[in-house]
Amino acid sequence: MNTARPQPATCYTRVNGIDLAVHEWASDGTAVPLVFAHATGFQGRVFDAIIEAFPDHPAYAVDLRGHGLSRAGPIDDWRLLASDVADFLAQAGITGAVGIGHSMGAHTLLQVAADAPARFSRLVLFDPVILAPAFYAPGQPLYTAENPHPAIRRKRDFASVEAMIERFGTRDPYSLFDRRVFADYCRHGLTPAAAGQGLELACAPEVEASVYASSRSNGAILEAARHVDIPVLVVRAQATDLNDFKSSPTWPDLASILPQGSDLYRPDMTHFHPFQDPQDAARIIAEWIA
């Protein structure tokens, strides 16, 4: 992969009451812009290894609300994430971009494409958290304050980035990650602790838990998908058990309801495909752009 690309500039855009952080890689070329949206609990810089493969493209990696440098509290509706991104794209004047999303970020970009059709010319969705209609039918949150998602108990504080790398490097699922991507996750996933000593997770455990708890909040995503009339590639990993973070949550029929949807089934990959093999993910993106 190309490793000569300069570090991005981090810019902030005021959207829906927060300062949304976006990491921006400039380009002297005229290639189509790339917009990246990450999974729950991560941040935009996990895409660095992939973005380096596209030096001719201006690239924008968003820290979604409550993640990375986009400081915010818990959420109860995933449509707010899409509203944030759509507002940023409008303020930045970005149109005709290629959107690349992973997991919750892929759900977000598909909703943006439905709400603001001019913003994207095509999408690549790695294992989007968009499930079959039956998942959304109950309506109520999956978890409550009395019965929170287990992420609420995630270790928050670390003495250093190296301490986080040492703690999680050999644990599932992090042991599956490309080592560069894992280091970027740890390096950019920590922020100075509010107490003034050491570091803490940039995505607070209560924020992460709230995202999982509200994963049924946008059942309308399936109807929205039917109106996204641009080429959309759905990359699905192996599905095993919904309670397993490595399992694909994606409805196998999702591509079939998209007007220009294509399905790419990768049973050799887990839900963390872009982290496991960023070179393979970059190849898929490049072929879809071409």
Whether 181 is covered by a domain: the verdict is no
Whether 189 is covered by a domain: the verdict is no
Q: Give me the pLDDT at residue 141, please.
A: 81
> How many domains are there within the chain?
1
Q: Give me the pLDDT at residue 2, please.
A: 45
Q: Which two three-digit tokens encode residue 16?
A: 């829906």
Q: Can you tell me the mean pLDDT for 260-264?
A: 98
Cα end-to-end span (Å), the chain: 18
Each residue of 22-46: pLDDT tens digit?
999 999 778 999 999 999 999 999 9
Whether 55 is covered by a domain: the verdict is yes
Whether 177 is covered by a domain: the verdict is no
Each residue of 159-197: pLDDT tens digit?
999 999 999 999 999 999 999 999 999 999 999 998 888
Whether 225 is covered by a domain: the verdict is yes
Asked if 254 contacts 261 with a C-beta cutoff of 8 angstroms, the reply is yes
**Bigger pLDDT: 282 or 1?**
282
Dihedral pair phi/psi, residue 151, rounded to 5°: -60, -20
Which of 273, 46, 283, 243 is closest to 176 using CA atoms?
273
Whether 285 is covered by a domain: the verdict is yes
Domain extent, residue 100, equals 9-140+217-289
CATH for 282: 3.40.50.1820
Q: Which of left, alpha, beta for 198 (phi over 0: left; psi -120 to 50: alpha)?
A: left
Whether 81 is covered by a domain: the verdict is yes
Q: What is the mean pLDDT of the chain?
A: 95
Whether 198 is covered by a domain: the verdict is no
Each residue of 211-233: pLDDT tens digit?
999 999 999 999 999 999 999 99
